[in-house]
Amino acid sequence: MQATRILAIRHGETSWNVDTRIQGQLDIELNDTGLWQAQQLGLALSDEDIQVVYSSDLKRAHQTAQAIAQAPTRAQPVPLTPTRALRERHFGHLQGQTWAAIEAEWPEDAKLWRARDPHWSPQGGESLWVLRERIAACVSALASQHIGEHIVWVAHGGVMDVLYRLATQQDIQAPRTWHLGNAAINRLLWTPQGLSLVGWGDVSHLARAPKDESSV
C-alpha cells in the first residue's frame, strides 16, 4: 500500500494559551512550560525514523519543531521546513482578545463561533471552510511527496482539529469530543484515498495532563 506515516503535533504551551487569549496568526513564543514540553517531545521521538519535519512558520510551532528535529538524543538532525500553509486559522479582529472579552464585546461573533458556523469569519479572518480547504490541500501536497516515509507536522489547535475531522470523516460542524493537547502526539496515515487515524492525544511523554484549550 502506498502510504505516508504522519506524526501531527500541536505546539507547546504559550502564555496566551494559559490566559485563553486568541493567538490566531499572531507570532507568540513558547513559555517555560512549552519549552519543556517541546524538549520532552524531542526525547520521546528521538528513536523514530523520521525523514523530515514540517512546521508552521509561527514561532510557537517552529520552536516545538526545532526541539524534535534537533533533539540531542537523536543520531543526526532531521531536516526542518517552515510551511506557511500549516498556520493557525486567522481570527481577524479577534486576535489578541481573551474569550471573556469576546463574549462581552462581540456577543454575536461569540455565538457564531460557538455554533461552528462554517461560513462565518471574524472581520479580516478565515471561516472554518477556508481553514479546512487550506489544510486539506496542504495534507495532499506534503504527504504525497513522502510515500513510504515517516514525517512530522507541527502546527496548531485549529489545524489538529481539521486533521482529526478529515481522518475520521467528521462533519465540520460536529461537536468536538477529542482533545487538542499542547505537545500531544497524534498519529495518522495518508494514502491517495485520504487520511486515516492511527492514534490520538498521546501525552505519556509529559509529566502532567494535557492542556486542552480552544483552537487558539
Q: Which residues are catalytic?
A: 11, 88
Is the CB of residue 155 less than 8 Å from the CB of residue 23? Answer: no
Task: Pull the grid cell for residue 207.
Answer: 509529566
59-69 helix and 32-44 helix, angle to the nearest 10 degrees? 30
Contact status, residue 109 vs residue 122, Cβ threshold 8 Å: yes
- Report the run of H or E that residue 7 belongs to, with start and end: strand 4-10
Distance between CA atoms of 120 and 129, rounded to whole angstroms? 9
The gap from C-alpha 28 to its chain's centroid, in whole angstroms, comes to: 14
Which of helix, strand or coil describes residue 196? strand
Pairing type for strands 150-155 and 52-55 reads: parallel
